[in-house]
A and B are shown apart, each in its own frame.
Chain A
Amino acid sequence: MTAILNRIKVALGPDMAGPGFALIAVLVIFSLASPQFFSWATFGSVAFQLPELGLLTLAMLLPVLTGGLNLAITFTANLAGLTVAWVLQQNGGADAGPFAFFLGSVLGVGVGALSGVVMGLVIAYTRAHPILVSLSMMIFLRGLGEFLTRGGDVSGFPAFLQPLGHGSILGFPVPLLVFIGCVLIWHLLLTRMKLGFNTYMIGSNIEAARYSGVNTRKVLVLVYTLSGAMCAIAGIIMLARFNSVRVGHGESYLLITVLACFLGGVNPFGGFGRVIPVAVALVVLQLLSSGLNILGANQHLATAVWGILLITVMVLRFAAGHFKSLKRKKG
């Protein structure tokens, strides 16, 4: 048993053990509890719901790896969505063409990135704490968004956007494909690019990184810019899924994204964490919520169970670490 676990650890990395174990546990428990769990309907619902939370979690991941946080993710996403909606409305609303959507998306990603640039610059040059900076940005964006929309929904989009939120290609939901694409890009960024390498180094010790010749300010600005751009992609997917934009969409996801990062083995103080375990952690959270749904549990209860799961994971991690050090002492 331990031999198998060790082989898995070597193959997938030690941070995969937690999320992997949770995934297996959730699959086993729910298939025993409900015969309907192992069905296309379950996996369909997971596949469609996962991407919104998933994309926002990717946006949260980069700042967390630098030892920071981006609390403005949901409002950045919705402001980017609003930008797309505005461009579509300017070009005929429901009759707008694909080019208008393309233009809107480019502008939307630009708006998301801009929010990130501003936060990145402030954090890099004033050394203010990322929590305060992104909290300020969050409040600014919320106020701005509510002012622009008068607190209501913006809807009435062209029909060709429907597949982006609900369609499938070869049986794979389009939002899921977008999410998988973004996971791969993030994975490549963090494992094979200088920016990713420097992100980890900064997360562990920004001064030592600077002494080593890392352009720490540039890295911080780029990290928050990419985080903002990823928010925008999440915003566009949400626009297509809900067929509307509202400033408060997905607000409850904010803290879940932080917890998903930690469930995926990311060090809360920065410097360590990989994309793939975080993606698996997201699948676990979504399976849990869909499974409880099938069992007929209340949606709010599902959220409560997420909380319990995360606390359990923290306790188990502590226990595992304790056990290891005990074994070492006795050795």
Chain B
Amino acid sequence: MTGRESAKSGQKPLLSLRNINMTFGGVRALKDVSFDVLPGEVHCLAGENGSGKSTLIKIITGVYRPQDGAVIEFDGQTYSHMSPVTAQNSGIQVIWQDLALFPEMTVAENIAFQTLLGRWPRFVNYNAMREKAVKALARLDVTLDVDRPLKDYAIAQRQIVAIARALVGEAKLVFMDEPTASLTQSETDHLLDIVRTLSASGVAVVFVSHRLAEVLEISSRLTVLRDGALVGAYSTEGMTQSRITELMTGKTFDQTVRARNVNANPVVLEVEALSRPGQFEDISFTVRRGETLGITGLLGAGRTELALSLFGMLKPRSGTVKLEGKPVHFSSNRDAIAAGIAYLSEDRLSLGLIQPQSIADNLVISSLDKIIAGGLLSDSRKRDLVAQWIADLGVKIGLQTDAISTLSGGNQQRIAIAKWLATDPKLLILDAPTVGVDVGARAGIFDIVAKLAETGLAIILISDEVPEVYFNADRVLHMAKGRIVDQFLPAACSLAEIEAAVYA
């Protein structure tokens, strides 16, 4: 099964894993997994959260030690397990999703510090470091000021810095964990070019990505894991997105356009000529009761800034916002929440939820008044409220008092949605609600969104993944460079039409 493709190509694999087993606290994270990567190929490792992708990467990079019987062959050497040092010295590099960079240090230090570790004399040679950094960035065809602290740069550039760091480490095999999750389309294209260049120069790249379109575009082979077991290794030739989803989840999904006609419903939100120079200009639109309005566009199109302005966290320079016909001016998001506007942040990890705190506390934080009895917070009311929402939205949890960070991305997002629904909103703004949520769990989130729309809630759905808004919104606005440039009705146009406009 796994040997099929490599046998076909007749090439000896650069990396070959056999009999990989791993158990955490009684849970088998990996069951007898095999995995091959050919020299210089771009290989995609696909699977839902919890399918064992990260565990597998951590075994290859020496973070975890697999159970006895494992065979790891890399570049002609055979190991029973790796250590982080052997992995790095033999040319295996990982770019983790959180990038593992130092924001306070300069770009050069971030890129080149590893090369200086453990060398004698133990002095830091800044000139050598700068030189290495500049060279690595040049290889990626990127210009950054290597002397500036990394925190001056946006996530997209930090990603590039992380890649440059891997290059400096003389990599033969680079793992990229969700490398494009926070990049715009042009940045993604640029990154994919970089990956092709790397691959052409003989560096093998293993891509872990939720974005199936780019998986198909960039990789030549694909290994799918499900529930810690190998589903199979496939050539991406002739593979489709829906086929990959089926392999990952073991279920079939048929996506249909959900758009309805809600023009008879009363207008909930009316935005007129709203501007915040430098971020968005002259924005006008309406959202009706029960309507799901999609807003799509590239990262940096001003979508999040627009949402934050509606939510009272940024001040627009000019223009008006009317809620149910009455003009509103918010001096903070507390005013917006009181008026019936809720905003689900795109950044669930650091802004959307308070990760170390409990599931229950995260759910009630925005509606504490509801659990007050006799002037004091009531534990029993809190428990009841939380239990009700968990049942309503079908969230799978252990205890209400468990930290929210123990939940999967999909279940965390459901709690975040419940948090806002508990404030009785008239308008719910969902900013990239499926970031870091599995393909399988995404459908569940959109089922909830559809049900909410049925109950009359007005919803603004912001996403840079065009299919999401196409299938789930009643109307789609295309935002580019801070302006609304076009409107589409999914019921009357094709996905390709919108994609062509957005990614043009």
Binding site for B on A (CB under 8 A): 188, 191-194, 197, 200-201, 204-205, 207-215, 271-272, 328-329, 331
Contact = CB atoms under 8 A, between A and B. Distances in A.
Interface in B254-284: none
B361 interface: yes
A212 B419 contact: yes
B25 A331 contact: yes
A205 B354 contact: yes
B186 to A, nearest CB: 29
A188 B376 CA distance: 9
Interface in B371-407: 372, 376-377
Interface string B348-359: 001111111100
In the A-B complex, the 6 residue pairs with the closest CB atoms? A331-B25, A192-B376, A328-B25, A213-B337, A212-B365, A205-B354
A214 B365 contact: yes
B377 A194 contact: yes
A192 B377 CA distance: 5
A329 B24 contact: yes
Given A194-B368, A329-B25, A331-B26, A208 B351 contact: yes
B463 interface: no
A214 B333 CA distance: 9
Given A188-B376, A211-B345, A213-B334, A204 B366 contact: no
Given A213-B334, A328-B24, A201 B365 contact: yes
Contact of B334 (A205, A208, A215): A215
A188 to B, nearest CB: 7
B351 A211 contact: yes
Nearest to A200: B357
B376 A193 contact: yes
A204 B353 CA distance: 10
A193 B378 CA distance: 9
Contacts of A204: 354-357
Given A188-B376, A212-B419, A213-B334, A201 B368 contact: no
A208 B352 contact: yes
B330 to A, nearest CB: 11
A208 B337 contact: no
Nearest to B338: A213
A271 B357 contact: yes
A130 to B, nearest CB: 19
B426 to A, nearest CB: 15
Interface of B: 24-26, 313, 332-334, 337, 343, 345, 350-357, 361, 365-366, 368, 372, 376-377, 419, 423
Contacts of A331: 25-26
Given A208-B351, A328-B24, A201 B357 contact: yes
Q: Which of A194, A213, A328, A329 is packed against the most chain B CB atoms within 10 Å?
A: A213
A302 to B, nearest CB: 36
A220 to B, nearest CB: 15
20 contacts: A191-B377, A192-B376, A192-B377, A197-B365, A197-B368, A200-B357, A201-B365, A204-B355, A205-B355, A205-B356, A207-B351, A208-B351, A208-B354, A208-B355, A209-B354, A211-B352, A212-B354, A213-B334, A328-B24, A329-B25
B111 to A, nearest CB: 28
Contacts of A329: 24-25
Contact of B377 (A193, A207, A214): A193
B25 A205 contact: no
Nearest to B376: A192
State the main secondary structure of chain B at its contact with A: mixed
Nearest to B365: A212
Contacts of B356: 204-205, 271-272
Given A193-B376, A212-B419, A213-B333, A201 B350 contact: no
A201 B25 CA distance: 30
A47 to B, nearest CB: 30
Contacts of B368: 194, 197
A212 B25 contact: no
Given A197-B361, A197-B368, A213-B337, A207 B350 contact: yes
Q: Which of B353, B357, B366 is packed against the most chain A CB atoms within 10 Å?
A: B357
A329 to B, nearest CB: 7
Nearest to B356: A204
A247 B350 CA distance: 43
Contacts of B313: 211
A214 B26 CA distance: 40
Nearest to A208: B354
A215 B312 CA distance: 13
A331 B25 CA distance: 5
A210 B351 CA distance: 8
Q: Which of A193, A208, A215 is packed against the most chain B CB atoms within 10 Å?
A: A208
Contacts of A207: 350-351
A200 to B, nearest CB: 7
Nearest to B26: A331
B116 to A, nearest CB: 30
Contacts of B334: 213, 215
Contacts of B365: 197, 201, 209, 212-214
B355 to A, nearest CB: 7
Contacts of A205: 350, 354-356
A322 B366 CA distance: 36
A208 B353 contact: yes
Contacts of B423: 213
A331 B353 CA distance: 31
Contacts of B351: 207-208, 211
A212 B366 contact: yes
A205 B343 CA distance: 17
B149 to A, nearest CB: 18
A28 to B, nearest CB: 32
Nearest to B337: A213
A329 B25 CA distance: 5
Given A193-B377, A209-B354, A328-B24, A201 B361 contact: yes
Contacts of B357: 200-201, 204, 271
A207 B366 CA distance: 14
A99 to B, nearest CB: 31
A197 B377 contact: yes
Given A194-B368, A194-B377, A204-B354, 10 more contacts: A197-B365, A200-B361, A201-B354, A201-B361, A211-B313, A212-B354, A213-B333, A272-B356, A328-B25, A331-B26
A313 to B, nearest CB: 21
A271 B365 CA distance: 14
Contacts of A328: 24-25
Contacts of A271: 356-357
Contacts of B24: 328-329
Contacts of B419: 212
Q: Which of A214, A271, A329 is packed against the most chain B CB atoms within 10 Å?
A: A214
Nearest to A205: B354
A200 B358 CA distance: 11
A194 B366 CA distance: 11
A193 B24 CA distance: 39
Nearest to A196: B377
